[in-house]
Structure 1
Amino acid sequence: MKNLSRLLFVSVLLVCFSTSNAQDKNNPWALSLGTNAVDAYPVGEDLPQGPYFDEYFNVTDHWNIFPTISRIAVSRYLSDGFTFTAGGTINSIDKFGTRRDPVTGEESTNSVNDLTYYSLDGAVSYSFQELINSKKFEPFLGVGGGYTWLDNVGAGTLNGNLGLRFWINEKLGVEVQSMYKHAFEDYLPKHFQHSAGIVFKFGGTDTDGDGIYDQDDACPEEAGLEIFNGCPDSDNDGIQDSKDDCPNTAGLAEFNGCPDGDGDGIMDKDDKCPTVAGLKALMGCPDADGDGVADGDDNCPNEAGPAANNGCPWPDTDGDGVLDKDDKCPNEAGDVANNGCPVVDPPVEVVKSLNTYARDILFDTGKSSFKKGTDEVLEAMVVIFKEYPDAKFSIEGHTDSTGSKSGNQALSERRANAVRDYLIANGINADRLTATGYGEDKPIASNSTRDGRKENRRVEVNLVKQ
């Protein structure tokens, strides 16, 4: 039985150590130093021991506390929150449960001679630190095995432990834990062993010496900054080199780390005038007169002019606002809309003639469609309009007062537009014609008589002065 206990202990240690080379984290090693207390009472046995967890915290009567450093352990991070710990403890046992006086029945601490206590234990524990999302508190739960000697008689144990670490900083913490040890030999009692101490973490690798462990270093062989996960920023512009288009020259984030010396919004490498603020459309060069020609290419940099004339303005000999190059009458002041030539308006007699024709435009009752025979009148008007191609006219529709005012207004607008549409369809430029409806607002005769109402239902053509 003794050999079986030793074999189990060795097997547990070998299994744990065989996985200790799994993926590690920063500071994968830890050293624990502290004191321990052994309590054989609350383990579910008859006196001198007692029921499970009975008087579990009765430190005075049951705990055997070794007052100096009596526990040392080394831990190795495995992976995914699992850690293997191997440790050893020493103690001196002078309290072993409770004794009952056979006469009085009173219970008191069962004292024994100072028995020596030694143990070597290994355990795999799981940390709940990430689960509770804490940087300070780390509860853990573990299982393992070991070998314990009591008064120089040893036996293997199966162990279960529960503990808590409080991390003061990244490397230093305080640890408390309670371990239940189930012995495989009758001569070694089942018992609890509690411990408290400090924990030191160490062992991370930092190849480039930038203070960021290789595990978290995106550039492990090149010293860098923590903000960039260990990657460098050679020009100190706040953009790591791998994302910096100009890694050796400090620049702006909006230009991926490239500079804009003149502050015109065009980075220097694309700026044809990098020392003088300019326009994006001109590749960073200035345009003082705003004519779209860069000052360096502008023969008249302070006077706006077209690129076709090297930035200088075209002449306007007749001063009519139409440049000579566009003026069909460059030596005679004219109208801009007429390509620089004077507008020739039709005589008054011609306008009267147009209105004479307009009065003969007949519409279907209550509609904007033309009555039969109106086409001849409209064709005659088209001939006159074409004789004066530069003149502009307004076409006005009017009604009598029969019906609603809103209906008359809408009808007058439709009739004026019907005439305009006919003229446009027959070759008259739309820009020369406007159409307006006045409804019953501008009568020229009384609406109380039939003849008067007939006079008021009309289309008028007026010359628009330019």
Structure 2
Amino acid sequence: MKHLKLAVMALFTFATIGTASAQDSDNPWVVGFGVNAVDFRIPSEFSDYAKDYIGTSDWNILPSVSRISVDRYLNDGFTLQLAGSLNKIETFRAENDMDELYWAIDASVKYDLNNLFGDTSWFDPYVYLGGGYANLGDLGEGTLNAGVGFNTWFNENLGLNFQSGGKKEFSDKVQDHFQHSVGLVFKFGGKDTDGDGVYDKDDACPEVAGLKEFNGCPDADGDGIKDSDDACPEVAGLAALNGCPDADGDGIADKDDACPTKAGTKAMNGCPDADGDGVADNTDKCPNQAGPAANGGCPWPDTDGDGVLDKDDKCPNVKGVASNNGCPEVIIKEEAVKKLNDFARAIYFNSGRTTFRAGVSGKLDLIGGIMKEYPKANFSIQGHTDSQGRAANNLKLSERRAKAVLDYLINKAGIPANRLTSAGFGEDYPIADNKTRAGRAQNRRVEIKLVK
């Protein structure tokens, strides 16, 4: 009896220094080995129950491992426990009034009170309710069991358990009694392959030791960015640069910075451009004078500002184009455009058709010849009609006739197709009075427009 009291006192002492966590889904299994005490002296008055419960003089204890239990964590603080206990009853109604073997098999559901009060990490109190079978001598029966208990954990896997409760019999074969137990408990079942303290089920990197704040993944350079998201995992850097350093503070990671020790711009790959000419200082022959890249960043004169340097400009005082050596580009002369339209007025079609009258092909060949003289000029072939007939029919006729001229110039005169377009405008743009025959004749025409 004295030994059990000492064990209980030691249990409460250990409870004040425990440091580990309670049983949960990380370590779902617990196995316990300990001793149990059975108290059969249950008086009839409730006040006597309390007095008898507190007293230990009438406890029956077998001085060896006499209770074995297996717990399996379920969910939300609930645990299923199966336990078997063995005892020798010497005190039943009075001291040394019996010498019978006692054994019991019990199944209980435990509820962790930390779910109500908050996790203390090392102290694990619970209540339980269940049933079992108790046997005393030659008699046995089912019991209803209820009580309280707690585990106190010394480390991740080892702890002490104390449990105390009552067993209510159903058929008066085994008297109602209290049963108390104390023993060692071992929790296990959680797998932590890399040993980083994060169980594999919660570990995003189960085979590489890491940190809890990164779900078990490592941060080798300690910059607060886990290695899997860190573009520079071995060098501490900035979150904004995916974990890479930026020595010059220009917002460009050193690994991508052509001038990592001098602040620059993204356009210059991290290098500065002091004169703003678009040539990085590290390749600019005149870093303090703006100049073209073609001249190594040094300025060349361009008097007329047409982008053609004076040394290459045949018209240095007049803006021109590079294709004409700095001189103004002449696409086509005005008199040539006039000739084109003079010839176009002589293009006649058979009545109501898109076929040409005799002699028209010669005019079309002359038009093609002028167009070839000015290969940079593009033209629009435009067809027009008089107001005779339906407007919709006239529009279609004008489109087909303009297309017929375009097809001849491409297929017969050899003008590139990308230089020509065609369009029909029907009777919408007359140049003479449609009420007279002469006016209608003028309105039935083809015009050639310069496309600028």
Matched, 1:286 2:272: yes
Rate the CA distance shift 1:459–1:185 in 2: closer, same or farther, 3 A: same
Rate the CA distance shift 1:318–1:281 in 2: closer, same or farther, 3 A: closer
What letter corresponds to residue 458 of structure 1 in structure 2? R
The percentage of counterpart residues that share the same residue type is: 46
- State the match for 1:379 in structure 2: 365
Inter-partner Cα distance in structure 2 for 1:235 and 1:309: 45
How does the TM-score come out when normalised to structure 2? Answer: 0.64
Matched, 1:162 2:87: no
Matched, 1:396 2:342: no
SS, match of residue 295 in structure 1: coil
- State the match for 1:60 in structure 2: none
Inter-partner Cα distance in structure 1 for 2:423 and 2:276: 41
- State the match for 2:298 in structure 1: 312
CA contact (8 A) 1:165 1:174 kept: yes
Rate the CA distance shift 1:390–1:458 in 2: closer, same or farther, 3 A: same
CA contact (8 A) 2:232 2:244 kept: yes
- State the match for 1:454 in structure 2: 441
Shift of 1:452: 2.9
CA contact (8 A) 2:198 2:215 kept: no
SS, match of residue 441 in structure 1: coil
Shift of 1:319: 5.6
CA contact (8 A) 2:430 2:443 kept: yes
CA contact (8 A) 1:146 1:158 kept: yes
- State the match for 1:43 in structure 2: none
- State the match for 1:336 in structure 2: 321
CA contact (8 A) 1:393 1:462 kept: yes
CA contact (8 A) 1:78 1:84 kept: no
Picking from 198, 201, 204, the partner of 2:156 is: 204
CA contact (8 A) 2:308 2:322 kept: no
- State the match for 1:122 in structure 2: 68
CA contact (8 A) 2:307 2:322 kept: no
Unaligned runs of 5+ in 1: 1-30, 35-74, 99-110, 206-210
Inter-partner Cα distance in structure 1 for 2:256 and 2:398: 62
Inter-partner Cα distance in structure 2 for 1:400 and 1:204: 102
SS, match of residue 41 in structure 2: strand
Inter-partner Cα distance in structure 2 for 1:117 and 1:398: 123
Picking from 229, 253, 273, the partner of 1:267 is: 253
Q: CA RMSD in A?
A: 4.5
- State the match for 2:428 in structure 1: 441
Shift of 1:454: 2.6
CA contact (8 A) 2:244 2:254 kept: yes
Picking from 190, 194, 197, the partner of 1:213 is: 197
What letter corresponds to residue 124 of structure 2 in structure 1? G
- State the match for 1:172 in structure 2: 123
Shift of 1:458: 0.2
Deviations 1:274-306 (A, max 9, x none): 243334453311335555421232234466544
- State the match for 1:145 in structure 2: 84
Matched, 1:297 2:294: no
Rate the CA distance shift 1:404–1:428 in 2: closer, same or farther, 3 A: same
CA contact (8 A) 2:100 2:136 kept: no
CA contact (8 A) 1:245 1:257 kept: yes
SS, match of residue 385 in structure 1: helix
Deviations 1:404-447 (A, max 9, x none): 44554454455445434543554446676565544323212222
- State the match for 2:343 in structure 1: 357
Deviations 1:336-361 (A, max 9, x none): 2862345285464x544432321222
Inter-partner Cα distance in structure 1 for 2:423 and 2:309: 34
Shift of 1:456: 0.8
Shift of 1:310: 0.8
Inter-partner Cα distance in structure 2 for 1:284 and 1:353: 59
Inter-partner Cα distance in structure 2 for 1:171 and 1:242: 34
What letter corresponds to residue 159 of structure 1 in structure 2? D
Rate the CA distance shift 1:353–1:320 in 2: closer, same or farther, 3 A: same
Inter-partner Cα distance in structure 1 for 2:358 and 2:432: 26
Shift of 1:449: 3.7
What letter corresponds to residue 89 of structure 2 in structure 1? L
SS, match of residue 439 in structure 1: coil
Inter-partner Cα distance in structure 1 for 2:44 and 2:197: 49
Inter-partner Cα distance in structure 2 for 1:184 and 1:373: 134
SS, match of residue 90 in structure 1: strand
Deviates more, 1:214-223 or 1:248-257: 214-223
Inter-partner Cα distance in structure 2 for 1:357 and 1:445: 19
SS, match of residue 453 in structure 1: helix
Deviations 1:9-38 (A, max 9, x none): xxxxxxxxxxxxxxxxxxxxxx9979xxxx
Unaligned runs of 5+ in 2: 1-8, 13-21, 46-51, 91-98, 158-194
- State the match for 1:85 in structure 2: 32
Inter-partner Cα distance in structure 2 for 1:416 and 1:304: 53
What letter corresponds to residue 357 of structure 1 in structure 2? F
